[in-house]
Structure 1
């Protein structure tokens, strides 16, 4: 499992060297956009609207728009120094709370934590202490240039860092429109709904829930592929496919050889000598 971060978790005077790994992955089926006319992938270029030309990566700077069309430019050196200063800090658990005290709306993304060199004993200590007390740790950490609020908890014998939103990142529920304040249901309706909930209540088994749309989409793609209902981008004027990179080295070499043969000028044919029909005079 890929290690995406190394650091130290501390609570009190206990320091735990750990590695962090992504606990979840996005399995959405990504679809490309093609030009309907020639079936070529659409490119998205970064273009300056004033200069009216494409902009290279090294020409781009970062800035914060504090008002309409007014920016504060931030140098890469300043950002790198600030990020380095924060990353060097240990992930410190500042509080311990009960998991049920945190509403699920705050949870964002999960990361597995494994002990780094020399951290096995301290890792086990924190894991066992959390299990025995039924508590989770609240901590701060830097992930991808952003300071994250996180909770450290136990999941199937493994420590997990669960990033959570800051309170100001959760929108005010009072701003949600058209939410009825008082119940407009009769007692009979409510009792019937409660009975239905009881009948459908079961033990949560995540394995039985699947993404039916993704499964159907993959089956459709496979069916079209098996029926050879596929397409290939047309070649450009220079004879080069619009698909980036050659899929087969031998094909690329052969194509280059064929092109070289076509471009090579044909050798000039030697001019044939015409025999003279004039007979030489015989000397007398």
Structure 2
């Protein structure tokens, strides 16, 4: 499993070297955008509309828009200095809580934690302590240039870190429009709804759920592949080469001639000499 981050958990005076691995993966079917004429993948360029030129990465800086068209430039070194002050490679345990106290709306992404060199014993100590206390650790970590709030708990014998949103990142539920103030339903309607819920109630078994749409897309792609309904990029036509050396030379001369019409002048008539009489 790919290691995406290496650091340590700061647990009181205990320091646990760990590695982070993505616990989930996106399995969406990804399509490329092609030009319908030649089937070439579309190229997205970083263009400056003012200078009308494509930019190199070294020409691009970070800017924060403080008002319309007004920006503050922030250098990468300035951001790096801020992250180093917070311990970029440390997971700082700040509190211990019960996971049930956190509403699922706060959860963001999940990462498996594995012990790094020499950290197996301390890793096992934290895992056992979390299981026995039925608690989870609340921690802070610098990840992808952002300070993240995270919950560390045990999942099937492995320490699992789940980043969670800060309170100001969760939108105010009062801003949701058109929510009825009261439920204007009859007792019979409620009883019928509860009966339906009871009939559909089961134990959660994630293995029995699948992405039906994704499977249909895969089947469509496979059927097109098997049916040879494939396209390829049309290669650029090579430039025509002159095989006749004289023709090539003459074409070069013709290309450099000024576009002027040359008119031929009629030859001047000679005047006959007239003999003067003596």
TM-score (ref. length: structure 2): 0.84
Correspondence for 1:193: 193
Question: Does 2:129 correspond to 1:140?
Answer: no
2: CA distance between counterparts of 1:184 and 1:63?
51
1: CA distance between counterparts of 2:242 and 2:155?
68
1:80 deviates by: 2.6
1:86 deviates by: 3.1
Report the secondary structure of 1:28's partner residue: coil
Unaligned runs of 5+ in 2: 247-278
2: CA distance between counterparts of 1:14 and 1:33?
51
2: CA distance between counterparts of 1:53 and 1:238?
27
1: CA distance between counterparts of 2:80 and 2:237?
44
Unaligned runs of 5+ in 1: 240-261, 269-284
Correspondence for 1:165: 165
Pick closer, same or farther for the CA change 1:27–1:89 going to 2, 3 Å.
Answer: closer
RMSD between aligned residues = 1.9
Encode CA deviations 1:56-90: one digit per residue, 9 max, x unaligned.
21111111111111101111222233333334463
Pick closer, same or farther for the CA change 1:36–1:265 going to 2, 3 Å.
Answer: closer
Encode CA deviations 1:111-130: one digit per residue, 9 max, x unaligned.
00001112111111111111
Correspondence for 1:125: 125
1:38 deviates by: 2.2
**1:16-165 equivalent positions in 2, closer than 5 A:** 16-88=16-88, 90-165=90-165
TM-score (ref. length: structure 1): 0.82
Report the secondary structure of 1:114's partner residue: strand
Larger Rg: 2
Report the secondary structure of 1:213's partner residue: helix
1:238 deviates by: 4.2
